[in-house]
Amino acid sequence: MDKISIGGVEIERTAALAPMASVADRAYRLMCREYGAAYLVSEMISAKGLCYGDKKTAKMCAVDERERPYALQLFGEDAPSVARAAYMLNRFEPDIIDINMGCPVPKVVGNGSGSALMKTPATAELIVREAVKNANCPVTVKIRAGWDEDSINAPEFAKRMEQAGASAVAVHGRTRRQMYSGKADWGVIAAVKQAVSIPVIGNGDVDSAQACEKMYRETGCDLVMVGRGSYGRPWIFEEIREYLQNGSLPPEKSVEEKMQIMLRHTRMLIDEKGEGQGMREMRHNVIWYVKGMHGAAALRRECSELTEYSQLERMAREMIERNTEN
């Protein structure tokens, strides 16, 4: 497989898993890695939270060797706190530190961080410059197309990030105003690729191996990043790998295989967080894993009661039976 280099960190040119707060936790990331995700990014970590010594924030920084190549992602609105947080991340030895300039959530944007930084490029530039000075690893930036349709500035903005020392830029082809609705504009990703010399990671609406190949072809991006397309199907990365390599797809997973993968994912989550919290957090994943199966609607209703692993084992058995009878 071809590889790309982000500031000397080699990454297979297949597909990366996008950072997703409250979704792509360690168990989720490791499942995607098992199926071939080339690069993983943490959930966003508050620079201020880290600086103030918040324990929950610090826990998010641990790096599991199996996750490499792996980025820790910071969000923050000012250069001093992001620089300090980048320095503090050094002891966790991430391969890359990514800075979030794409989050559209009001709580984040309201403080001037996330995608709000696309409206204040001078501040964004300073943040990157200071983070680069303080980090022992490459620093990258994740952006959107722009703030709204009247202020699409991703190409110029990415150029400034490059000048500030960023080693790569990931572009989600939506504006902040779009949040997650409408369609990602892959033309903006292509325009960013034209504007900079650092690697460009394309992101937005890749939900199949074919879509991944299309994004590479249409945008010229160096790496594709998949977020929601991996919901309930970490094996999308295996499909992408095979498709890019051979132009064919691996055989479709059977319901039984899918349920086994779901149970393995659950055990990993329980190992991380204990049965109570693990099962609570697994609920949304269960709904994604059974999507499209007979009996999915009934199981969705039962999911809110899910507190023990043995319940899920029983549900999985029932799903297999239901979906394999004639």
Q: Nearest approach, Cβ of 69 to ligand FMN (angstroms)?
A: 17
Residue labelled with tokens 């999985």: 316
Q: Rule CB under 6 A: say whether 228 interacts with ligand FMN.
A: yes
Q: Which element (helix H / strand E) includes 86? A: helix 79-89
From 32, 51, 61, 103, the catalytic residue: 103
| CA–CA separation, 223 and 212 (whole Å) | 9
**What's the closest the beta carbon of residue 263 comes to ligand FMN, in angstroms?**
23
Among 175, 203, 219, 285, binds ligand FMN (CB under 6 A): 203
Tell me which stretch binds ligand FMN (CB under 6 A): 98-106, 241-249, 282-290, 294-302: 98-106
Compute φ and ψ for 6, nearest 5 degrees: -110, 100
Told to judge if 103 belongs to the known catalytic residues of this protein, a careful annotator would answer yes
CB nearer to ligand FMN: give 100 or 323. 100
Are 145 and 188 in contact, with CB atoms under 8 Å apart? yes
**Considering the rule CB under 6 A, would residue 279 count as an interface residue with ligand FMN?**
no
Candidates 229, 232, 234, 278; binder of ligand FMN (CB under 6 A) is 229
The least CB distance from residue 228 to ligand FMN, in Å, is 3
Binding region for ligand FMN (CB under 6 A) out of 56-64, 89-97, 223-231, 290-298: 223-231
Q: How far apart are CA 169 and CA 161, in angstroms?
A: 8
CA–CA gap between residue 189 and residue 194 (Å, rounded) = 9
Q: Is 46 in the site for ligand FMN (CB under 6 A)?
A: no
Contact 219, 186 (CB under 8 A): yes
The helix, strand and coil proportions of the chain, stated in percent and rounded to the nearest 5, come to 50, 15, 35
- Does residue 280 bind ligand FMN (CB under 6 A)? no
Q: Of 60, 206, 240, 279, which lies in the binding site for ligand FMN, with binding defined by CB under 6 A?
A: 206
Q: Is the dihedral of CA 258, 264, 267, 269 positive or negative?
A: negative
Cβ closest to ligand FMN, residue 4 vs residue 141: 141
Binding residue (CB under 6 A) for ligand FMN from 67, 95, 185, 205: 205
21 binds ligand FMN (CB under 6 A): yes
- The CA distances from residue 211 to 65, 147, 200, 208, in Å, are 30, 25, 17, 5
Which residue among 118, 143, 226, 286 contacts ligand FMN (CB under 6 A)? 226
- Which listed range, 16-24, 211-219, 286-294, 310-318, lies at the site for ligand FMN (CB under 6 A)? 16-24
Nearer to ligand FMN by Cβ, of 213 and 302: the residue is: 213
* Binding map of ligand FMN across residues 148-187, x = CB under 6 A, - = no contact: ------------------------x-------x-------
Task: Provide the pairing of β-strand 223-226 with 70-75.
Answer: unpaired
How many whole angstroms separate alpha carbon 86 and alpha carbon 135?
Answer: 5
Lateral strand order in the sheet of 139-146: 15-17, 223-226, 200-203, 169-175, 139-146, 96-101, 70-75, 40-46
Crossing angle for the helix pair 309-324 and 296-303, to the nearest 10 degrees: 170
Chain positions contacting ligand FMN, by CB under 6 A: 18-21, 23, 43-44, 73, 100, 102-103, 142, 172, 180, 203-206, 226-229
Known catalytic residues are 103
